[in-house]
A and B are shown apart, each in its own frame.
Chain A
Amino acid sequence: MAKHHVTATVNGDAVEFLCETEETLLDVLRDTLHLTGSKEGCSSGDCGACSVTLDGRLVCSCLVLGCEVAGRSIETIEGMATGETLHPLQQKFLEHAALQCGICTPGFLVASKALLERDPDPTETEIRYWLAGNLCRCTGYDKIIKAVMDAAAEMRTS
């Protein structure tokens, strides 16, 4: 069967690609567009390591088909920093040592950014439940939650 020809926007840039019907958005991002910042931890939507936003909505890119994103806008971890300036979440993750191995970090950052865009002042509990779709096995979440709270506070005052 012929591949699908898809045009979409990734991190603000127009992209076009060919994909098989069964290829996921994560496959396309990683293998075709060479954006390997989104990680595959489970391919069943349980770990959140492949989190991206699709027209602003947080999704697991392993649960979206490549051919579904035609005409839509995708934001990945690679689009989070602006030029030389890290996003406040990225900066706070570094300052709080909110990562150990770092494999889950892109997913947590994308998910946290999506949260703060909806709610600039979430409680600790709200952050914990919002991020419950992202697995981290290294940190026990403590420093991640603190980094998100600190970034939110900084973003509210800037």
Chain B
Amino acid sequence: MQAKTSAALPQSYVGTRTVRPDGVDKVTGRARFGADFNLPGQLVGRVLRSPHAHARILSIDTSKAERLPGVKAVVTRDDFPDQSSEFIPAGEMMMNYRDVVRNVMAREKALYEGHAVAAVAATSTAVARRALKLIDVQYEVLPHVIDVVDAMKPEAPLLHEDLYTAGVEPKPERPSNIAKRVEIGHGDIEAGFARADVIVEREFSTQPVHQGYIEPHAALASVSEDGAVELWCTTQGHFIVRAHCARLLGLDIGKVRVTASEIGGGFGGKTVVYLEPLAVALSRKAKRPVKLVMSREEVFKASGPTSGARIKVKLGATKAGKFTGAFAELKYQAGAFQGSPVQPGTMCAFAPYDIEHVKVIGYDVVSNRPKVAAYRAPGAPISEFAVESVVDELAKKLEIDPVELRLQNAAREGTKAAYGPKFGPIGLIDTLHAVEKTNHYTTPLEEWQGRGVASGFWFNIGGETCASLTVNEDGTVSLMAGTPDIGGLRASLAMVAADELGVPYDKVRPIIGDTGSVGYNFLTGGSRSAFSGSMAVVEAAKQIKADLCTRAAKLWELAPDQVAFENGHVKPVGDTNGRHKPVSVADLAKVAGKTGGPIGGVGRINAQGAGPSFGTHLVDVEVDPETGRVTILRYTMAQDAGRAIHPSYVEGQYQGGAAQGIGWALNEEYIYGADGKLQNAGFLDYRMPVASDVPMIDAIIVEVPNPRHPYGVRGVGETPIVPPMAAIANAIENATGIRFTELPMSPPKVLKALKERGLNGVKA
């Protein structure tokens, strides 16, 4: 826990376990999250939502609600101008404003149960609730479709009459629920399979799972008479919220100031807007602040889970274990609007392996469910679950150890990835060796216990990022970043700033600036915030160091090249070495007014070179033959971080992703009734892992430096959720001999499979 010291470098915080600067606020209840903001004169907002899975909206009469005393504003589709069709990047997914405007407020049709139809702002919760009841919406209820395979049938109820499958030639004659077909790969898969001695072919299904952040969506908007907008909300990207609100409501971006509250979890689910444009629209009408907070039921019904899917995988190998050909077909639910993560799903499916002949086809399919949102490595956990299950089955057939089979085929530096480019230095092999070397891998198991392994991949992204550093007059440093800190970002950036400027860590105070205080930042997502943010901080520090050198050179009447910045000090170098005592950042800060004014730097970058992160998970399970319950006995995971800035928060990302994967594998799913309504919209029935469901999770940090980052950093946040589902399925197979291909592997499903084989009963 001590900061590392060496003679050359008096301090290096990077790589140590500092206490986060925002920590005290978060353990004392002082930190302000989305719902913790309030303003004088604030109104209570409430949203009216569709009770139907699919219905045409014939009319909306808000007149009675508007007349109710205490109601200050009502908004409907009429308050949001229609948008033209235009696809724009949204995190790691794509979005279309024509769809966004329809998702935030239903237009022609309500497309899922919970779809927003109107919103009110009133002087109290009671009045707001009464007002919702007074809004008269006439629906023509339409047949709905929930399942992805049903939605693809020609006779399926059509969600969008103008949706023609993209990516097929010629253009289909009829509209359908299949928004898009995508294909990636290289080589000739038929030739590949012809060379195989063993082929495994399987079908899989997964259910939609929710990101499950504990903090519901919340937004507080205040629009003044001159049209200036102030907005406080919980989001992964306040600059994205600003852009969306400006676009949807016809506002100048410069007039919209968005402050990101502390964010109570996001995992991709807070990269889109739901309440924010409604709050702004209501406040604009009411000319008073309006606060909207979702209930948990609303979060489940009206915010994005990730896709459920049907997947086919075919993988061939020689007797010696070399993969010869690979094929997969992915059908991903997008929810009510197109834009499932099927594209990254196709690209990630076989990414961990070096395969000459590979092809993956994906379909993006709409159905009457909430529109999916990004969820941690969007798309990858689904396709890689299927592929990693098949790899395990192949290992069993070939009688090769599953880690050895992966090592034989593992992608390494120079491998041409299934999705196109050649990998630079990557750490997959290192993670396989790391788990193989643990005593976990060789500890004997008992009856009904099984062990499974699986690997995973995610790209990671960089992107537009700004961060500023200001050296204050006493030598302390103010750091401003613009990507919400969702799990230790401020600590990581402060450590990098301290190292770069050679100042003590506790003299750097990092904050997350609002959209008016710092330059444009893309959102916190894609495992990019520590990667890109630290690059921006390095750039800002570079400017400061150059400036300080210039100032010192002037003071000493030396040429600029006769001074250098070292260990937090400017000192004379070369011939002049030793002529003056080195001056510290703090010393120069004291005389800033006399040497050129305020000292600061701003990093404005479009970060490139995000290195992919690979991971391998190892899990032991025990299956109870009486109830079908699967218990996670032991969990070890290794992942490449490039360089861990703060090892504890890297481990935390690993462990958290694994736990979410455990929930995805064993319990979590959206359950719909025949009426198209969600039956488990609460934490009691949507069962996320609790502390007693999981063991300690041993997180091994592998460090294969990313050559394109000044400290070697790779993003780490998403890869951890990729391997768990297959690792657990493989472990259950190892325990029972039964290959489960449907998630979640919940007790009823496991018990049924045991019963079918006469394996159930009380454990001896």
Contact = CB atoms under 8 A, between A and B. Distances in A.
B212 A137 contact: yes
Given A101-B263, A137-B656, A36 B487 contact: no
Nearest to A78: B29
B697 A105 contact: no
B262 interface: yes
Nearest to A27: B125
Given A47-B683, A140-B655, A143-B655, A95 B19 contact: yes
B214 interface: yes
Interface residues on chain A, size class? 35 or more
B353 interface: no
Contacts of B693: 132
Chain B CB within 10 A, most for which of A76, A86, A141 = A141
A100 B28 contact: no
Give chain B's interface secondary structure class: loop
A134 B23 CA distance: 20
Given A97-B17, A101-B215, A142-B655, A137 B27 contact: no
Chain A CB within 10 A, most for which of B17, B265, B648, B657 = B265
B214 A137 contact: yes
Contacts of B488: 97, 100
A8 interface: no
B192 interface: no
Given A97-B649, A132-B691, A143-B652, A137 B683 contact: no
Contacts of B24: 86, 90, 94
A140 B697 contact: yes
A124 B267 CA distance: 28
Interface in A56-100: 76-78, 80-81, 86, 90, 93-97, 99-100
B27 A109 contact: yes
Contacts, number: 187
A41 interface: yes
B23 A94 contact: yes
A10 interface: no
Interface string A136-155: 11111111111000000000
A131 B651 CA distance: 21
A97 B126 CA distance: 41
B727 interface: no
A39 B215 contact: yes
Contacts of B262: 101-103
A35 B216 CA distance: 18
Contacts of A137: 211-214, 265, 267, 656, 660, 688
Contacts of A139: 652, 655-656, 659
A46 interface: yes
Interface of A: 20, 30, 35-44, 46-47, 49, 76-78, 80-81, 86, 90, 93-97, 99-106, 109, 124-125, 127-129, 131-146
29 contacts: A37-B28, A38-B29, A39-B33, A40-B293, A41-B214, A41-B215, A41-B264, A47-B214, A94-B19, A94-B27, A97-B17, A97-B649, A100-B653, A101-B266, A102-B26, A102-B33, A104-B214, A106-B27, A125-B692, A131-B690, A132-B693, A137-B212, A137-B688, A138-B656, A139-B655, A139-B659, A141-B659, A142-B694, A143-B648
Interface of B: 1, 17, 19-20, 22-24, 26-33, 35-36, 126, 211-216, 262-267, 293, 295-296, 486-488, 646, 648-649, 651-653, 655-660, 682-684, 688-694, 696-697, 699
